[in-house]
Amino acid sequence: MPRLSDLLPYDCSKKVCADLKNGLQEIHLLLSKLLAANEKFLNGEFESFDSLVGENGCHIRALKVAILAGNGSLDLERLNSQVKKAISKIDTLLEEKTINLLSQLKVSLREIMDQECLDLILTNDELFLFKAYLLTEVKHKMYSEDSLLGICKSSPENLIAMTPQVSMMFAKKLTDKLRSMLAESSVRFVREVAECQDIQTMISDQFSYLHFSKLACTPLFWTLKAILQKVHQEGIPIVLHVKYTMQDEDKKYKTTGHEYLLFKPEESERLFALTEFKEEDLHKPAFVIQGISLCEKPNNWKKSLEDLSLMDVILANCAAHRQYPNADKDEEIDRIQHPEYERYKALAHKRGFSLNNPSSFLIQHIYPSQPKRFFARA
């Protein structure tokens, strides 16, 4: 079973003398963040787990979080009780006389964690959720009127904003390790849920690579196809957040309005039906797809749904998007000439689901949430 110390970017046994205090403060920070993460999840604030990893895998985390929120498999109240006890113990250990004595005796952080039961055991799902939360904390969104795509950057300093005793170096190293760990966990998860042979082949090691030599990636089209099939299988609703956008005379993009559409899985053919929301839908975990529609008349793009399914709209977007964070890697996919992929790519450019032609709907981001965030109560 994974432990809290698995997240640390160093060997706990080497944290002795003056470094012991630093190590305890860093463990204290992680425990405090774990408590905050659990409370956010229990309160249904699933957007707090919309992590910035850097490998185009937001849709994987959106599904994982929605599944965990819907199946009730996590016992976070139990975990919170353990976290609070551990925090109290560290507060005592950090008292001046105690920490000075431990430092003089050259007791290591590993020894302290073992003796005081500070190295909490987490389930794989609890650890996944915590990693996603921490990497959402470091996310800094940047808005640009010159681009249709959202821009985010990693700001590790966010992790230590309220704890100046923890160093920036620790925050940076922790963030780097979390990104690598969550990317690997995400790929492992999508491979577990993939059902058909074609998808399994296309997200296998043969078509995967390590972005920046540390972030595991799989091609977007087949990854999201596997995700959508699982969304349907789990009965998770999809919220389409449409941002109606126009380009002014200075070539700047302006949002002119918003619309939210609720789709529910149908029983057959793996399709999703556009439906009116009901009170019972408001608190369910949802798979939110945010995008823009660059059209003169807001209702025009919805005509696409008259002869295309929601799956078609999403997969067309994915086919026209770069398949990997490094677009140069797409050549490997293009060489295959996969019929379905090529068909959806052509559809995207023709019907307005691509960056070159965003006249219908261009996906910007996918994240977990609840319908109540978008729809007024009945």
List pLDDT tens digits, range 127-166: 999 999 999 999 987 666 667 777 788 899 999 998 989 9
List pLDDT tens digits, range 319-357: 999 999 998 899 999 999 999 999 999 999 999 999 999
CA 106 from chain center: how many Å? 40
Cα 301 to Cα 136: distance, rounded to the nearest angstrom: 32
List pLDDT tens digits, range 15-30: 999 999 999 999 999 9
What is the mean pLDDT of the segment spanning 97-113?
97
pLDDT score, position 251: 81
pLDDT at 378 over 50: no
Cα 99 to Cα 27: distance, rounded to the nearest angstrom: 14
Question: Between 242 and 295, whose confidence is greater?
Answer: 242
Q: What Rg, from alpha-carbon coordinates, does the chain have?
A: 23
What is the mean pLDDT of the segment spanning 269-295?
88
What is the rounded average pLDDT for all residues in the chain? Answer: 93
pLDDT score, position 269: 63
* pTM across the whole model: 0.94
What is the mean pLDDT of the segment spanning 185-198?
96
List pLDDT tens digits, range 207-266: 999 998 899 999 999 999 999 999 999 999 999 999 998 888 778 888 888 999 999 998
Range with top average pLDDT, 181-185, 248-252, 270-274, 373-377: 181-185
Q: Check: CB of residue 134 under 8 Å from CB of residue 178.
A: yes
Q: Check: CB of residue 287 under 8 Å from CB of residue 236.
A: yes
Question: Between 148 and 292, whose confidence is greater?
Answer: 292
pLDDT score, position 247: 83
With pLDDT > 70 as the criterion, what percentage of the chain qualifies? 96
Q: Confidence band (pLDDT; 50, 70, 90) for 298?
A: low
Burial bucket for residue 64 (CB in 10 Å: 0-12, 13-18, 19+): buried
Cα 155 to Cα 172: distance, rounded to the nearest angstrom: 9
pLDDT at 201 over 70: yes
Burial bucket for residue 137 (CB in 10 Å: 0-12, 13-18, 19+): buried
